[in-house]
Amino acid sequence: MATDVVVPTLGESITEATLGQWLKQPGDPVKADEPIASLETDKVAVEVNAPIAGTLGEQLVAEGDNVEVGALIARIEAGDAAAPKPDAGKAGKAETAVNPAGPGETPALKEDAAAPKAKDDAQALSPAVRRAVIETGVDPASLKGSGKDGRLTKDDVLAAAKGGTPAPAKPAPPAEKAAPATGERHEERVRMTRLRQTIASRLKEAQNTAALLTTFNDVDMTAVMDARGRYKDLFEKKHGIRLGFMGFFVKAVALAARDVPSVNAFIEGDEIVYHDYLDVSVAVSAPNGLVVPVIRNADAMSFAEIEKTIADFGKRAKDGTLKIDEMKGGTFTISNGGVFGSLLSTPIINPPQSAVLGMHRIEERPVVVDGQIVIRPMMYLALSYDHRLVDGREAVTFLVRVKEAIEDPTRLLIDL
């Protein structure tokens, strides 16, 4: 008896997804709750799990097709998920028929039979792992997965690319194949993922709707770097997480937003919605694009809670396991382009939010302090905001409050 596999509920307001990849092929044995397909939504990749153990039957949807919640995409034949063992007598006849090797000859049947399985294993990759394989050129068939049920993870691929697990040498091309002509040019067309389409649409929406403006300032990171250097070992020993810079900036934003509440507000129709809480969207790089998981009630969290939450978001973004609900909402965004080497940028707000703070790389520069030219670790800060709601004076005030809190972290403790 066959059991239907349908598209699961994907979250509030999400009614459609794109079938990104089949993780199992027709005839493959599957276990109950084992992922058999990957769906791409507007925000994250979601795996479809097998409702029962059995054998995957007909696939009713092709990769790249759009599917609605509740749509039938495949069927699973009930039964033992383990592959049936062939009868010894039948196996011998099959070998004779497929590979009639004589005495002393080496049969190639085992190699022929193993080829489809290796192909299937290579196909059963999550979107994050598949992208890592493409970027590094590592052969996934040569790796042993450390994930659930022996599946490959992105860390497995990256470790192999760094020399942890050497990939087998590729066979040399046939001698008769002519080398490509010098100067030959190629083009490749790749369909945009649903996530990338959504990112493009929302960014363009922000430009078309909001009156965007950016104001800049720079901040001396000496005090924060000294505090971090002094306490990072004790902090990690006590809390089990490294002390980073994001905790300081989240705390500084929470402090500044109390003085300038408009940067933490929305425009809805002809009304302004103010929030007495701060939900910070943290821009995180994922294999398929930028995602913004939300730190809920960040204004009430400790440094350790903030750092643990951010570290968890970063790891799961790379693995493609962030949940849709974790990226909903958010009243303010922080984007750290400095981790990629950015010196200066004008970030775009994340609608319906009204402001985004851009952090950049720390660079030693000569500055004047008390009439003396000294070298200090400096960072440029950029605040992009919706000028319909946030006035220039308020934007500058907010950025100055953040600067003051970073340059004198004691303010974060005594609420100044």
Active site residues: 387, 391
Residue with tokens 């196996």: 91
Cα angle, residue 357 at apex, residues 351 and 361 outer, rounded to 5°: 135
Residue type, position 67, single letter: V
CB atoms under 10 Å from CB of 54, counted, come to 21
- For residue 32, the surrounding DSSP H or E stretch is none
CB atoms under 10 Å from CB of 156, counted, come to 21
CB atoms under 10 Å from CB of 117, counted, come to 12
Residues 10 and 68: beta-carbon distance below 8 Å: no
**Residue 413 DSSP SS3:** helix
CA separation for the pair 45, 410 (Å, rounded): 42
- For residue 358, the surrounding DSSP H or E stretch is strand 355-359
64 vs 20, 167, 193, 286, CA distance in Å?
Answer: 6, 30, 9, 20
Residue 127's closest CA among 45, 41, 35?
A: 45
Most distant CA pair in the chain, distance: 94
H runs (alpha helix) in 174-244: 194-209, 222-239
* Adjacent-strand bridge partners of 214: 384
Residue type, position 6, single letter: V
